[in-house]
Amino acid sequence: MFQHRALRGISDATPLRGTVDRTLRVKVIDACGMTCTFCHNEGTPVSSDRDAAHTGEFGAAGRSGRVSIYLATNRVGFTAAPVFPDEAFRAALGQLREALDFDEVHLTGGEPTLHPRLPEIVALARDVGYRVSVTSNGENGARVLSRCAQAGLDRVNFSVFGTTPEELAQVQSERYRARSLAARKLEALEESMRLSLGTDMSVRANLVVPNRGHIQRVHRLLEKYSPQLPVRVLSSLADGEESLDAIDLLLHGLRARPKEIAVAAGTSGFRVIYELPNRRPLVVKHIRDLRLPHTCSNCPYNNRVDCHEGYYGVRLYRDPGGQFHVGVCIQRMDLCLSVEEFVAGSVCSENKKLREQDFQDLTAGKHSTEDSDGSA
């Protein structure tokens, strides 16, 4: 078993479900109407701020109020443009599916529901042979998610930041201190969730916990949403140990009991499934210490302090000139390659070997299933 502070005190008898990561993350649009203080924006600059100066370790917010927390140090060489449901996108999906046996596309942003052709993107990915999921803040979901469901969208993860305008302001820039704007965003999220729960899609809520000041916010969110849909708590990459400490306190206060550890081989993300006293499940997602053995070996961030996400998996981007880029690290965007270079190169084969070895290591002596779990 790998080592992680979240596993301290969890019995060795707790079941481990080992799967294999077969998910490709695709950044379909950069635009977003939220200004979350912990956003990594998939490693790319905020397009609307590309002419603004960014300073500091993680890059300061530009005129939009949005942040991309690794911008100042990740050596990114392009801005992200919208992906279109065209033959170039179809070809990129096909090449990567064949190369790495992907079976799920997870659509990210920015905010994917702001993409005017999102249902067509879903339909195209399904036609290529992928299951399709999306992470959304819900700000435009009421207008588009029903059509996405009809096009074959399998799952939507809603990022939930508060139940009141005051709670939302805790994790947003100054512009969201305006109560009327924050209230409109929350109303849009509520409507998006309500409509999605009326479809055949799987629906769940993601809650990021930056620090202890957010524990009561999570309690209120659990009270509001957990009867309706599964809730997943995530740590904040930008807040590190402070975020992990807050999650420990949250679990203690909830009297949560661990029931299962779910790990997808080939990705640093893993989940611990807890049960609350009222028998409702609570999922907590963490990042383990996983690296690409060769690509990461000489990286200046290759230590437990500076490497925040580990090796999380493969991401696909499109730049304004129509070129697709394949990335393997949001803190090292200089590692991005074209689809053709990636598929033919050593990083692709390294990815395959890592998945195979990681699955063997994870499941040695443990009951497991070799299957994709859609854990993005």
Any domain includes 167: yes
Average pLDDT over residues 117-144: 97
375 pLDDT above the threshold of 80: no
Q: Is the pLDDT of residue 366 over 70?
A: no
Domain residues for the domain of 108 are 16-363
Q: What angle do CA 219, 221, 223 make, to 5 degrees?
A: 70
CATH of residue 65's domain is 3.20.20.70
Please check whether residue 4 lies inside any domain of the structure: no
Count up the domains in the chain and report the number: 1
Would you say residue 3 lies in a domain? Answer: no
Q: Give percent of the chain with pLDDT exceeding 90.
A: 73
Question: DSSP of 185-229, one letter per residue?
Answer: HHHHHHHHHHHHHTSSSEEEEEEEE-SGGGHHHHHHHHHHHTTTS
- Rounded Cα gap, residues 155 and 106, in angstroms: 9
Tell me the average pLDDT across 104-130: 98
Mean pLDDT of 226-233: 85
Query: Which of 71, 74, 141 is closest to 111 using CA atoms?
Result: 141
Indicate whether 7 belongs to any domain: no
Query: Is the model more confident about 44 or about 180?
Result: 44
At residue 376, the pLDDT reads: 56
Q: How confident is the model at residue 12 (pLDDT cuts 50, 70, 90)?
A: confident
Whether 2 is covered by a domain: the verdict is no
Predicted local confidence at residue 58, as pLDDT: 46
For the ranges 211-215, 235-239, 310-314, 340-344, the lowest mean pLDDT is seen at: 235-239
**Packing angle, helices 87-100 and 118-128, rounded to 10:** 40
Region for 46 from its dihedrals, namely left if φ exceeds 0, alpha if ψ lies in -120 to 50, beta otherwise: beta
Q: What confidence tier does 290 reach under pLDDT thresholds 50, 70, 90?
A: very high
- Claim: this prediction has a pTM higher than 0.75: yes
Question: Is pLDDT at 57 greater than 50 in this prediction?
Answer: no
**Residue 126 placed within a domain:** yes
Would you place residue 369 in the very low, low, confident or very high pLDDT band (cuts 50, 70, 90)? Answer: very low
Q: Is residue 5 part of a domain?
A: no
Mean pLDDT of 248-259: 96
pLDDT (0 to 100) of residue 140: 96
What is the pLDDT, as a whole number, of residue 218? 86
pLDDT band of residue 109 (cuts 50, 70, 90) is: very high
Least confident of 3-12, 185-194, 313-322: 3-12
Please check whether residue 368 lies inside any domain of the structure: no
The model's pLDDT over 256-289, given as tens digits with 9 standing for 90+, comes to: 999 999 999 999 999 999 999 999 999 999 999 9
Give the three-state DSSP class for 77. Answer: coil
| pLDDT value, residue 61 | 63
Rounded-to-integer distance, Cα 281 and Cα 257, Å: 9
Q: Round to whole Å and give the CA distance between 336 and 181.
A: 37
**Is the pLDDT confidence value at 352 over 50?**
yes
